[in-house]
Structure 1
């Protein structure tokens, strides 16, 4: 049965702001004009009732993740396994298990958006409250911009390598940011159509790259460059990075499912999303693992990588040179699929910060986020490996907190307390205070630093250089704190 379109008090207040405040009225008129001329999405982070949904093809639940993950950007992560002194074979094994486990979190969170018609961070209001969801939105934006920064830098390196250094990395960064911004303006419908096909050519080129670069792969892929406690620490560190990378989609995966029917099978959503995340991520990361072996066993290519980055290394392993340059140019454009989604979802998270932010059209936030992403990528373009290591480990800790709390709420507390009050998602007096969610998030994320690689006391107990235990400590902290805290919140607050 299709629900009747009704609005809660908070939703009506946003509509009233758009009509009453002059600048907002003009901005929304501009958005309406852009919609009429170019077909951009105007709904933003608003709830999508069932009678207004226009679902894409079911297969898009796989293809959208193919486009976002079949990019050479993941090569930079995969090569870190051997760089951490693991063998190529060990790195591949950790890649498979880290991806398989990490993909569970975004696959689950994605199931929450069709039944509610709400974007992923908006759904978190039912566990974190309206104010707590603002914190989740901020963390989501930081995560997305971190992803975007890495992609922009790699794209810049590729374009610079193709030009023989005549074009700077900064130019490539600008090109990617501008193109991604333009596509993200169009919103849900165009993004789904673009992501349906964006991966196909890139997959073909990556297969060719696999074949052409195979002659450089490590002659002893099973040889580990560390042993004992050092190897254990390296394995834990690399696992944390792989897990964090794929789990990081948890805070946006549902953004692309709000138009699917509320009664769609949750197992179908979960399964298709997991497949869409697992297959492309593992494929590209394994290529990265092999490139890590190249760096450690081939002095010439290692020097090229050290001097000019991953773009120059890819160029050097493919032939002839004209073909290699063509591939690298296409690769640099492949990041558009991922960065487009980053700008889109981040703009939705900003709108969820407050009703006044919701009243501002999405295209305004898109433009601001693109400018921030450009600035960060520009500033960090010479420190790519440091950005990846520092960013992805923290990413895993946050998503473990986020996903576990939403799982407890959806699977235990909501079924026993009346389900989701959809009309009240904008109303403070109808949402939880979020005390349990925020405290559990703070405790879990705070305790994660006990196990963080290199600096945490628990991590240093594993190996001299550390072994990342942050995800496990975070999971244990959330499991032990959220259920009792949430039970107390319901008992004394009533919602």
Structure 2
């Protein structure tokens, strides 16, 4: 199998030379050549892309990154990118569900959040070590198991997952803005503000976003500490609870898995410009700790807030009016005008989560329909933001119900996807990045058929569906055990995929992967 990486701009070296002679940096020139080849017929003028590239804006879309362009050695950026993404109000809402919706006490909620966060984050964080070696975005790598057209199915599921999380963050941030303004603006307006700021940041791409997120967690952390310091005196007032049933703990654990496992379809997007020699253990640890530490701490704070909301009337009224945004504003109200400023910082903290999410969503847009990769990533960012605004405004009306149903369901497909990708990488490709021939990334005839992966993803739902415990459906197995859907998907999927993929390789592909 050929393993030479083919640059998207091969065959137009004359143009590249011309650009270099004009003073354009070599990496920018290479990116411009790729864009020139694939989208000049749509946009006509190259000057605007040249100017953007010179200012560090990423123009590359989903095309594999050649080895010579994988030069980012700031490995800690993986941790700061993910740490900033999680150092916001999003994890608070997940923690609140443990005490407010599942009726668990603070201790039990913390234990579930701690153990299942660190456990279920391991597979996605391991997967981030693959992209520097292959030079491919996460869902492009998936084509080497799901094939060209069947891969559209996990792409759609992934886009739904990404948009769900982005919507939750945008709604929470919008609610904070509403509370800060004394309800002088609507939640819809708050969502639009958060989304538009995110869009501007997302347009800059990989390099500038890494720079922004390297420091974005700092004001968020300070704001959360101030919030707890000002209003934390009530956190000791916890509503009494009954000891949770095992089924309740298992169902809440599935919700936490739904928070962590979907990272397996996006993390590689944030490390694709790092060299093949990138230290894999360090990348794993940076990603693992960057996700888990802020998430667990803020989930625990959210659990404490959820238990307090039940017994402190002021917080209860604020939660009923503006959800978590209202509670944060109520906690900071004793600080007066300064408290309002801190509430604003908390509202804007979600942008560190929504911007990377829109980044990955826009990349998935490029492989949703054949030929979409020719449209520059920035155009997809604009479309993605429009979708976010529409979905966020619609979901804000029934926010808690939307969140519970969403987080539980996405863990099922995400677990199966992770199982397939790890089986392909470890078992069939023996962790050899050269088996991912970058020259065929967009060739439906040379990529696998994808039948084995698609069947392995779908068939486990025969047992997953009876094991679901959702607000809109409780399966017969789940009535006794709690939600075991993601566990079954994670365990069963590889056992189905292995024999089917082996048959495909041996009988239909002549031994070729």
TM > 0.5: yes
Change (3 A) 1:214 1:63: same
Change (3 A) 1:193 1:450: same
Pairing 1:281-292 to 2, within 5 Å after superposition: 281-292=295-306
8 Å CA contact retained: 1:18, 1:24: no
Change (3 A) 1:305 1:56: same
TM-score (norm 2): 0.88
- Structure 1 residue 208, shift from structure 2 partner: 2.2
8 Å CA contact retained: 2:85, 2:352: yes
Correspondence for 1:475: 490
Q: 2:61 aligns with which of 36, 40, 44?
A: 44
1:407 aligns with 2:426: no
1:193 aligns with 2:207: no
Pairing 1:313-462 to 2, within 5 Å after superposition: 313-318=327-332, 319-415=334-430, 419-445=435-461, 447-454=463-470, 455-462=473-480
8 Å CA contact retained: 1:111, 1:266: yes
Q: Deviations over 1:36-77 (max 9, x none)?
A: 4x4321111111111112305111121111110000122111
8 Å CA contact retained: 1:10, 1:427: no
Q: Distance in 2 between matches of 1:174 and 1:339?
A: 12
Correspondence for 2:313: 299
Pairing 1:98-117 to 2, within 5 Å after superposition: 98-117=116-135
Q: Distance in 2 between matches of 1:356 and 1:484?
A: 33
Q: RMSD across aligned C-alpha pairs, in angstroms?
A: 2.5
Correspondence for 1:129: 147
Correspondence for 2:72: 55
- Structure 1 residue 472, shift from structure 2 partner: 1.3
- Structure 1 residue 147, shift from structure 2 partner: 0.9
- Structure 1 residue 475, shift from structure 2 partner: 1.8
8 Å CA contact retained: 1:31, 1:361: no
Correspondence for 1:77: 94
Pairing 1:221-236 to 2, within 5 Å after superposition: 223-225=240-242, 227=244, 231-236=245-250
- Structure 1 residue 258, shift from structure 2 partner: 0.8
Q: Distance in 1 between matches of 2:271 and 2:384?
A: 22
8 Å CA contact retained: 1:19, 1:25: no
- Structure 1 residue 99, shift from structure 2 partner: 0.7
Pairing 1:149-298 to 2, within 5 Å after superposition: 149-219=167-237, 223-225=240-242, 227=244, 231-298=245-312
Q: Distance in 2 between matches of 1:28 and 1:248?
A: 37
Q: Distance in 2 between matches of 1:156 and 1:411?
A: 43
Change (3 A) 1:191 1:444: farther
Change (3 A) 1:358 1:217: same
More divergent stretch after superposition (406-415 vs 468-477)? 468-477
Q: Deviations over 1:231-253 (max 9, x none)?
A: 22321222111121122221110
Q: Deviations over 1:324-357 (max 9, x none)?
A: 2111111111111111111111111121235511
SS at match of 1:317: helix
1:487 aligns with 2:487: no
Q: Distance in 1 between matches of 2:73 and 2:208?
A: 11
Q: How many residues align?
A: 484
SS at match of 2:371: helix
Where in structure 1 are there 5+ consecutive unaligned residues? none
Q: Distance in 2 between matches of 1:16 and 1:49?
A: 12
Where in structure 2 are there 5+ consecutive unaligned residues? 13-30
- Structure 1 residue 459, shift from structure 2 partner: 4.6
Q: Deviations over 1:285-305 (max 9, x none)?
A: 111011111122223322321
Q: Distance in 1 between matches of 2:315 and 2:11?
A: 57
Correspondence for 1:119: 137
Correspondence for 1:35: 53
Change (3 A) 1:457 1:381: closer
1:143 aligns with 2:186: no
TM-score (norm 1): 0.91
Q: Distance in 2 between matches of 1:335 and 1:130?
A: 34
8 Å CA contact retained: 2:88, 2:350: yes
Q: Deviations over 1:244-278 (max 9, x none)?
A: 11222211100011111112232222222111111
SS at match of 2:148: helix
Change (3 A) 1:19 1:72: closer
Q: Deviations over 1:396-435 (max 9, x none)?
A: 1121111111110111101299722222222223211111
More divergent stretch after superposition (251-260 vs 349-358)? 349-358
Q: Distance in 2 between matches of 1:151 and 1:226?
A: 31
Q: Distance in 1 between matches of 2:8 and 2:195?
A: 37
Change (3 A) 1:459 1:385: farther
8 Å CA contact retained: 2:228, 2:331: no
Change (3 A) 1:226 1:459: farther
- Structure 1 residue 445, shift from structure 2 partner: 4.4
